[in-house]
A and B are shown apart, each in its own frame.
Chain A
């Protein structure tokens, strides 16, 4: 309980001051706006600055637009040949490094995820332009694999030298006739973080793939799961539960996904948004163009999973489904509760910090809560204000130069296929029962009073936070992992989980309880000091037997 006494000693305002002390004044002023002491009460949430430029020289956790587009959103789709147009590095680093699992076991299934495709641009391509090489590369990929889709991703120099990747892909698509070829202008310098890449990916997948297959899929209660990336098999567990409940998942964006899932997404009747940050654009566009409403769900945490299932069932309003969902929850919960009660005596009262992504730093608080652990500080790496404060702030968001250059698709109702899944009256009736459509309240609402919410936390601040508040576990990404662990604090990656998973759904919750128990109670943390360091005095001579 040492950690809690420390907490009492440190007022969050002092922690904030301490973190900012060493910065040059300009940096301190900027960072001060991204560090918020949570005083969220009802709808009154203090304002945080987010989705702004990273400060040069400050060791950030963030990555780039290409990483958000090719790595995060498009990476987990198995049957699209993803060609990185650029020098070799970007393709190389995004090659199999995200632990997205996929099930390509069906006979004849295509799976290009273990491959890395690149145009490997050289100086002559930079000088004379890379369009010809890109065209040849697409042709070679087509000749070798005959995939149903080829996607092209721009890296920094591509935009600078002005290669028209969209013209090249359009030409090749027309030439092939049986292969959809499309491109993403996701140069790394665009936007301020991965977030811009998510948006670009959303736009292009919506523009080029969604709606391509009008075939009706079987299933009574059809949903899409948006913003779930099947890291460590999360999506497999969610699909298991959905199937058990009798809910059909038409398309996951984009864990364990295939081209056809995206192409058929418009045939679902409800969109369930997991990671709000990375995929809410597709949700909005699916609603506008096809009339599919969206709700926020969260399958991280057993209670959250149950709540999300109930919400889906309520949407469909089918008695049979509602009952089935209750049966499934009743079947799954005993094991969850058993492990929870086994682990809880060892985790109760411990503290956690989480700095990842655009949703996970919020979602995982559910699991820590279930273990009796308190999140004392959290923040996102690439979120926008709405992810902290809730979607009601969206109309007031400042559109700066960096956001302005990310395309906003103008979407209109499809003249043929737009079909509101519920009438206005039905929607209103549901809303009247406290059923929120198109709503996300953000992280702040769920965090404790006076907890520290920090956007785009950096290396220096992380070290300070850990030093001052001494959490029992710190969660971030691979770059942060070992500097935290050197301090003797266990660190769990919440981007890729290090190893293990799934952590979603009911079985995932059990895995997570056990994993966190292993980490915070590992004996290794007792070994940091050698016996002679603990007791350095040479007080006596050695006693021989």
Chain B
């Protein structure tokens, strides 16, 4: 057994986190920054943070992840990191020539109280930021929240460049939250089909799912441009997908530029996609195109065709709040039973929301925010499930307990596909359900006796 020391008996822990279901803020900020065109993320702290975040993102995407660091030494940690940041900004604009540098802090620079607004002002005043280039930033203390918080903070940080000309530009801001590049692409496709002009930010499509062509571009074609970000202040409204990832930025635009917003769930599964499409249709004042209705029908068709195989299957879910809320709704809506749900990200409202979504479940539903995978594993030992959905680290539980797993979330270190195929929208729902079915049916084919082994399923 790989996790041989995990006891079935659950004892409450107050201090020791074991097998976390979250990581720290800066990696989320780095991911968000990569969704800005021509942007080099910059980690203001010791160089290990940047190395770890780049490695994690690289392993997840199998793509180059460029980011720079202030490379603090003990001296910088004592005297402050201003000299390092100024030198970094100068070097970055000279050597790598990005359009934008997106600086995020770390626990180190936060603990010593480095003042980013003052430092970036100083960089500007001392001429280290060339004309027409930008430095944006976000405070991302690693000891608050999780990687999701860092993502949210950097998305809000991008809006420092937003402006209001007083004239609406007719576009809708869409904040997709921490979803994959393929998901961002899918959201753009759906909006284009309905005919809603949007600014999607961040947008990592075309950045983190790039082709191999014999050329390396540190700054690929994709990403939201600074010009588009400026225009977010003139938008007619903002759709924030996911409360944890996207609401702060949407509310910021509301309070700063009176751009009204709606917070929707991330469009995973049938119902959440329905609400997303309905919102777009209403905003655009058009009917939903037949093509989208067709895709929806296909998803409903698949649910009905294969219902017997996932009906009343018990699921354990682990990941980030916005995704888990949408997925819990999806699984519940197709008559599956999510019974153990864990996020490492703190926030009691997550637990309330999940409880509400799973009302009427015949099983007691275990849900925990600020939880960890050790607890999830213990729950599974006490009440086994038919399927685990979560990131690659779940495979240790899946193997030990002999339970099928669908990989979902961050990080996925041992499979591909998330870069290329969306799980948002109706088409994404079809893919997600296909993955769930494959996992369940592969297990059935493995476990059925020779007498009951069947050709046709």
Q: Which among B42, B53, B216 has the highest number of chain A CB atoms within 10 Å?
A: B216
B66 on the interface (CB 8 Å rule)? yes
- B112 CB contacts on chain A under 8 angstroms: 160
Decide if A118 touches B17 in the complex (CB within 8 Å): yes
Decide if A115 touches B26 in the complex (CB within 8 Å): no
- A92 CB contacts on chain B under 8 angstroms: 20, 22-24
Which residue of chain A lies nearest to B146 when distances are taken between CB atoms in the complex? Answer: A88
A180 on the interface (CB 8 Å rule)? no
A133 on the interface (CB 8 Å rule)? yes
* B80 CB to nearest A CB, Å: 12
- A67 CB contacts on chain B under 8 angstroms: 48, 51-52
A117 on the interface (CB 8 Å rule)? yes
B129 on the interface (CB 8 Å rule)? no
Decide if B96 touches A59 in the complex (CB within 8 Å): yes
- A481 CB contacts on chain B under 8 angstroms: 58, 64
Which residue of chain B lies nearest to A136 when distances are taken between CB atoms in the complex? Answer: B15
Which residue of chain A lies nearest to B65 when distances are taken between CB atoms in the complex? Answer: A479
Decide if A157 touches B111 in the complex (CB within 8 Å): yes
* A172 CB to nearest B CB, Å: 12
Decide if B48 touches A66 in the complex (CB within 8 Å): yes
Report how far A528 CA is from B216 CA in the complex, Å: 12
Decide if A119 touches B52 in the complex (CB within 8 Å): no
Contacting chain A: which of B184-192, B206-214, B252-260, B273-281?
B206-214
Decide if A53 touches B212 in the complex (CB within 8 Å): no
Report how far A515 CA is from B404 CA in the complex, Å: 32
Binary contact track B29-65/A, C-beta < 8 Å → 1, others 0? 0000000000000100111110111111011001111
Contacting chain B: which of A5-13, A20-28, A266-274, A503-511?
A20-28
* A61 CB to nearest B CB, Å: 8
Decide if A55 touches B16 in the complex (CB within 8 Å): no
B347 on the interface (CB 8 Å rule)? no
Report how far A145 CA is from B112 CA in the complex, Å: 36
Contacting chain A: which of B4-12, B164-172, B263-271, B426-434?
B4-12
B412 on the interface (CB 8 Å rule)? no
* A242 CB to nearest B CB, Å: 27
Interface residues of B in 81-97 (CB under 8 A from A): 84-85, 87-92, 94-96
Decide if A55 touches B87 in the complex (CB within 8 Å): yes
Q: Which of A27, A122, A478 touches B144 (beta carbons < 8 Å)?
A: A122
Decide if A486 touches B20 in the complex (CB within 8 Å): no
- A144 CB contacts on chain B under 8 angstroms: 5, 7, 11, 16
Report how far A192 CA is from B77 CA in the complex, Å: 13
Decide if B49 touches A53 in the complex (CB within 8 Å): no
Report how far A460 CA is from B96 CA in the complex, Å: 8
Given the known interface contacts A97-B55, A479-B51, the answer about A88 and B396 at a Cβ–Cβ threshold of 8 Å is no
A333 on the interface (CB 8 Å rule)? no
Decide if A486 touches B74 in the complex (CB within 8 Å): no
- B58 CB contacts on chain A under 8 angstroms: 478-479, 481-482
A190 on the interface (CB 8 Å rule)? yes
Decide if A115 touches B19 in the complex (CB within 8 Å): yes
Report how far A135 CA is from B46 CA in the complex, Å: 26
Binary contact track A44-64/B, C-beta < 8 Å → 1, others 0? 000000000111111111111
Report how far A57 CA is from B91 CA in the complex, Å: 6
- B108 CB contacts on chain A under 8 angstroms: 156-157, 160, 188-189
Report how far A424 CA is from B64 CA in the complex, Å: 54
Contacting chain B: which of A106-114, A223-231, A320-328, A358-366?
A106-114
Report how far A402 CA is from B76 CA in the complex, Å: 11
Given the known interface contacts A55-B71, A486-B213, A528-B212, the answer about A117 and B52 at a Cβ–Cβ threshold of 8 Å is no
Q: Which among A94, A97, A156, A529 has the highest number of chain B CB atoms within 10 Å?
A: A156
Decide if A156 touches B46 in the complex (CB within 8 Å): yes
- A24 CB contacts on chain B under 8 angstroms: 90-91, 94-95
A91 on the interface (CB 8 Å rule)? yes
B233 on the interface (CB 8 Å rule)? no
Given the known interface contacts A60-B69, A65-B48, A192-B73, the answer about A116 and B18 at a Cβ–Cβ threshold of 8 Å is yes
* B201 CB to nearest A CB, Å: 24
Q: Which of B2, B24, B42, B96 touches A88 (beta carbons < 8 Å)?
A: B24
Decide if B76 touches A189 in the complex (CB within 8 Å): yes
Report how far A481 CA is from B59 CA in the complex, Å: 10
A86 on the interface (CB 8 Å rule)? yes
B360 on the interface (CB 8 Å rule)? no
Decide if A156 touches B111 in the complex (CB within 8 Å): yes
Q: Which among A65, A120, A405 has the highest number of chain B CB atoms within 10 Å?
A: A120
Decide if B52 touches A189 in the complex (CB within 8 Å): no
A83 on the interface (CB 8 Å rule)? yes
* A273 CB to nearest B CB, Å: 25
Decide if A55 touches B91 in the complex (CB within 8 Å): yes
Decide if A56 touches B91 in the complex (CB within 8 Å): yes
Given the known interface contacts A59-B66, A63-B52, A65-B48, the answer about A120 and B20 at a Cβ–Cβ threshold of 8 Å is yes
Interface pairs A-B: 7 shortest CB-CB: A64-B48, A89-B24, A57-B88, A57-B91, A136-B15, A93-B52, A483-B64
With A88-B22, A94-B52 already in contact, 12 other A-B pairs whose C-beta atoms are closer than 8 Å: A22-B94, A54-B71, A57-B88, A62-B47, A63-B47, A64-B47, A89-B49, A93-B56, A119-B15, A144-B7, A189-B73, A479-B58
Q: Which residues of A contact B (CB under 8 A)?
A: 22-24, 27, 53-67, 83, 86-97, 110-112, 114-123, 125-126, 133-137, 139-141, 143-145, 155-157, 159-161, 188-193, 401-402, 405, 459-460, 463, 477-479, 481-488, 528-529
